[in-house]
Amino acid sequence: MNIIDSANLVYRKTPVMTDLTMHYCPGCSHGVVHKLVAEVIDEMDIQDKTIGIAPVGCAVFAYKYIDIDWQQAAHGRAPALATAVKRLLPDRYVFTYQGDGDLAAIGTAETIHACNRGENIVIIFINNGIYGMTGGQMAPTTLDGMKTATSPSGRSVPLNGYPLDMTKLLAELDGTCYVTRQSVHSLGAVRKTKKALRKAFENSMLEKGTSVIEVVSTCNSGWKMTPDESNKWMVENMFPKYPMGDLKDR
Amino acid sequence: MRTEQEEIRLMKGNEAIAEAAIRCGCDGYFGYPITPQSEIMETLMDLRPWESTGMVVLQAESETASINMVYGAAGCGKKAMTSSSSPGMSLMQEGLSYIACAELPCVVVNVMRGGPGLGTIQPSQADYYQSVKGGGHGDYKLITLAPASVQEMADFTMLAFELAFKYRNPALILADGIIGQMMEKVVLPPYQARMTEEEIRRKYPWATLGKLRGQKQNIITSLCLLPEEMEAVNLHLQAKYRQVEQNEVRYETLHCDDAEYLIVAFGSTARVCQKAVETAREQGIKVGLLRPITLYPYPSEAIARIAGRGRGVLTVEMSAGQMLDDVRLAVNGAVPVEFFGRLGGIVPAPDEVFEALKTKLIKENV
């Protein structure tokens, strides 16, 4: 059998991904989500019409892996950049890719107001409950009792307040049209996340408002677990606080 | 409404900026209200340029968001601008540092008010250091223009865009509450068309408009983790700044040819000093005035040359003496350099300046 015959092809790396080896830790969710974004751009044939806004954090180098035009924002400011890009280029697909420190802490104002204005953009929100890039410090989304570099005895509500469910908050805003929470820890979950991403990208041309896709993710290095343990820990601990599914679809 | 000709109007400095922005083909304005410059966005909202030229005008949630919207728009090769006043400018410093490093052209207007802190809404020039010495983190420069009339508010809006795109660098219009609020006759320039996407792709191939088939991706970033690469970025910026310093120094002189004493002042303070120079001349004292138009690049050579022929320099500012440092560096000890300033929103009067000239400079030389 000639395996390179297109009839026999069962898998093809999307050409929207570059050939660069990723800097992400083995087991990290970023790689999977990057691939899904690239596949959606490929399948929708919008590589020439898509502009990505990269965050500060582990995904700061997203522009190295997804072969489209990118702007890299200051910490938390991606939704402000995306607002201007989309307003000036309304026929382009514009998305931000942000972590929980970026989106739910330092960029809270920019995120809420972009969503509240109903900017026709896609916000991809990677929530792993920790600051990965800077070495595993506490994030707004860190669970109660979760140990991090800046909460070595575990997050304490009297000291640090409650874990922030930013996605729930964004779903409350009139400007959002599609708000969903997904994950990429299993084949089924990966398929659902891809479907959600496709829907979000399609929404951005329908003038319905902002689409937000939270991907509850693992940071096995930051969590100090194996990739497999991380997935289990995420299902057992993260999912009860951040339950899967659509929060809003209009 | 649109004309191919110049128009003469009576208007506020802030209004002139808004009019000039639309006329020079600005693509996007992003701002946040703050006194004494709110008329810029108010005028734009009133003129509704999105219906005529297609210019986007958006009120942001903060100055932090405004400057980052400017980043996004400028990254697409669009003519983008924002405006604010002193406290808001402090919030924009993060964005300006990123924009300077990513080499994005944009225009920022600061209509200065008295600080520090929330301060006062009255005019000041105390953001000089912040404007020309960096302001945000890292080694970078903003091309800084200091208008002294409503006419210059309009003219410098165009000039600022021209310089910003010429050098791929943010350009700052550093005005003060007087220039922003006062009304004068202004000749408004004719309308220029906004750049088409084809033009942007041709002239600014770095712009993120979407990666066309067969082209390589464009990435707007200020990140460079390897120190050797980051040093190279810095050296490139420094080389660019040397070019700016060589080509773009602008200043105006009054009665400097035979001046024994030189006053250096910028913006509205220069106009106050002009009156003081006239008073001094009426009394037979040979005083000249040098008004820096670009605060960065600074007219150091001209100041050194003119001051070197005389007996002393008086720097006048609405601050505790910030530009004074640059005047002293320029003069380099050749003659005495004295300072007179009013703080916290007080505008110096011409007779105060004349008095300072006599007591601080002339008497010492007698």
Q: What share of chain A is helix, strand, coil (3-state, %, to 5)?
A: 40, 20, 40
pLDDT number for residue B262: 98
**Which tens digit of pLDDT belongs to each residue from A220-237?**
999 999 999 999 999 999
A39 in Cβ contact with A12 (< 8 Å): no
B160: part of which helix (H) or strand (E)? Answer: helix B150-167
Q: Name which of A229, A201, A228 is nearest A213 in CA terms.
A: A201
Nearest Cα of chain A lies from the Cα of B36 at a distance, in angstroms, of 24
pLDDT number for residue A1: 65
Q: Which residues contact B230 (CB under 8 A, 6 or more apart)?
A: B224
Tell me which chain B residue has its CA closest to the CA of residue A82. Answer: B72
pLDDT number for residue B237: 98
**Under CATH, which number does the domain B252-365 receive?**
3.40.50.920
Whether the pLDDT of residue B3 is over 60: the answer is: no
Nearest Cα of chain B lies from the Cα of A37 at a distance, in angstroms, of 16
| Side chain identity, residue B210 | G
Question: What integer best gives the mean pLDDT of chain A?
Answer: 96
- Chain B residues lying within 8 Å of A67, measured CB to CB: 211, 217
B311 in Cβ contact with B261 (< 8 Å): yes
Which pLDDT band, with edges at 50, 70 and 90, does A145 fall under? very high
Task: State whether residue A47 sits within 8 Å of chain B by CB.
Answer: yes
Higher pLDDT, A211 or B364: A211
Task: Tell me the backbone φ, ψ of residue A151, rounded to 5 degrees.
Answer: -135, 65
Nearest Cα of chain A lies from the Cα of B179 at a distance, in angstroms, of 29
Whether the pLDDT of residue B323 is over 60: the answer is: yes
pLDDT number for residue B1: 47
Mean pLDDT of A189-200: 98
Report domain extents, chain A. Answer: 25-130+162-249
C-alpha span between B318 and B339 (Å, rounded): 11
Mean pLDDT of A191-209: 98
Whether the pLDDT of residue A37 is over 50: the answer is: yes
pLDDT number for residue A91: 98
Q: Count of residues for chain A?
A: 250
pLDDT number for residue A5: 81
**Distance from the Cα of residue A15 to its chain's centroid:** 21
Q: Tokens in use for B209?
A: 């408009």
| Side chain identity, residue B207 | A
Beta-bridge partner residues of A181? A214, A245
DSSP assignment, residue A7?
G
Q: Name which of A175, A168, A30 is nearest A114 in CA terms.
A: A175
Q: Which of B32, B61, B137 to mutate to test the interface with A (most CBs of A within 10 A)?
A: B61
A82 in Cβ contact with B73 (< 8 Å): no
Nearest Cα of chain A lies from the Cα of B284 at a distance, in angstroms, of 57
> What class is the B7-198 domain?
alpha beta
Question: B247 to each of A82, A203, B56, B331, how far by Cα in Å?
Answer: 35, 49, 32, 21
Beta-bridge partner residues of A156? none
C-alpha span between A234 and A49 (Å, rounded): 35
Q: Measured between CB atoms, which of B30, B62, B209 is closest to A69?
A: B209
Cβ neighbours around B55 below 10 Å, total: 24
Mean pLDDT of A132-161: 96
Q: Which residues contact B210 (CB under 8 A, 6 or more apart)?
A: A48, A49, A50, A51, A68, A69, A89, A92
- Binary contact (B210, A49; C-beta < 8 A): yes
Q: Measured between CB atoms, which of B28, B78, B223 is closest to A72?
A: B223
Q: Which residues contact B305 (CB under 8 A, 6 or more apart)?
A: none
Q: Name which of B244, B260, B347 is nearest B299 in CA terms.
A: B244
Mean pLDDT of B328-351: 97
Mean pLDDT of B91-95: 98
Mean pLDDT of B288-304: 98
C-alpha span between B115 and B70 (Å, rounded): 25
Domains B7-198 and B252-365 share a fold: yes
- Chain A residues lying within 8 Å of B68, measured CB to CB: 73-74, 77, 80-81, 84, 110
Helix, strand or coil for residue A242?
coil
Whether the pLDDT of residue B364 is over 60: the answer is: no
B68 in Cβ contact with A73 (< 8 Å): yes
| Side chain identity, residue A226 | T
| Side chain identity, residue A50 | T
C-alpha span between A8 and B35 (Å, rounded): 68
- Binary contact (B75, A50; C-beta < 8 A): no
Mean pLDDT of B224-228: 95
Cβ neighbours around B56 below 10 Å, total: 21
**Which tens digit of pLDDT belongs to each residue from A59-118?**
999 999 999 999 999 999 999 999 999 999 999 999 999 999 999 999 999 999 999 999
**Which tens digit of pLDDT belongs to each residue from B60-89?**
999 999 999 999 999 999 999 999 999 999
- Binary contact (A63, B222; C-beta < 8 A): no
Q: Measured between CB atoms, which of B73, B210, B213 is closest to A84?
A: B73
- Chain A residues lying within 8 Å of B98, measured CB to CB: 73-74
Q: Measured between CB atoms, which of A53, A70, A87 is closest to B56?
A: A87
Mean pLDDT of B183-212: 97
Q: Measured between CB atoms, which of B66, B72, B210 is closest to A71?
A: B72
Mean pLDDT of B309-325: 98
Q: Which of A17, A48, A81 to mutate to test the interface with B (most CBs of B within 10 A)?
A: A81
- Chain A residues lying within 8 Å of B211, measured CB to CB: 47-48, 67-69
pLDDT number for residue B196: 98
Question: What integer best gives the mean pLDDT of chain B?
Answer: 96
**Distance from the Cα of residue A38 to its chain's centroid:** 13
Which pLDDT band, with edges at 50, 70 and 90, does A187 fall under? very high
- Binary contact (A68, B217; C-beta < 8 A): yes
Higher pLDDT, A5 or A127: A127
Q: Tokens in use for B329?
A: 């560096």
pLDDT number for residue B65: 98
Question: Does the predicted interface ipTM exceed a cut of 0.90?
Answer: yes
C-alpha span between A21 and A38 (Å, rounded): 15
Cβ neighbours around B186 below 10 Å, total: 24
* % pLDDT > 70, chain A: 99
Report domain extents, chain B. Answer: 7-198, 252-365
Q: Name which of A214, A101, A108 is nearest A150 in CA terms.
A: A101
A70 in Cβ contact with A53 (< 8 Å): yes
Q: Could you give the residue ranges of the DSSP H alpha helices within A45-173?
A: 62-65, 78-88, 100-101, 108-117, 157-160, 166-172
Cis amide prior to B297 (ω within 30 degrees): yes
Q: Tokens in use for B348?
A: 């110096």
* A25-130+162-249 CATH fold: Rossmann fold (3.40.50)
